[in-house]
Amino acid sequence: QKMKYATILATLFASANAFMAPTAPKASTSLNGYSDPGFCAGLPGALPPVGNFDPLNFLEGADDNKIRRFREAELTHGRVSMLAFIGFLVGEKVEGSSFLFDS
């Protein structure tokens, strides 16, 4: 009898929690430790062990707007390449053959 009431009470508390307003998560500052203000206009993205990765010196002499444009283009090209890869897999599944790997 007590176990039945304990189970019902626990279920009521768990279901009441579903109707509470969500609290905002605490902002993470983990990227702030890796952003170098002197590199890439202070944008996050320099990670250890590579650090400030610019092997072809594209950012040398670039102003803040150009650096932000490079970053935006990099993200856009990455997203387009991910969609192209998914499209390649879907086309291969639908047609049943691959124009690259069929011999």
Pairwise CA distance, residues 40 & 48, whole Å:
15
Using alpha carbons, select from 77, 54, 79 the residue that is nearest to residue 67: 54
Tokens of 23: 């609290």
Single pTM value for the model: 0.51
Q: What is the pLDDT of residues 14-58, one digit of tens each?
A: 776 666 666 766 665 555 555 566 666 667 666 667 777 787 888
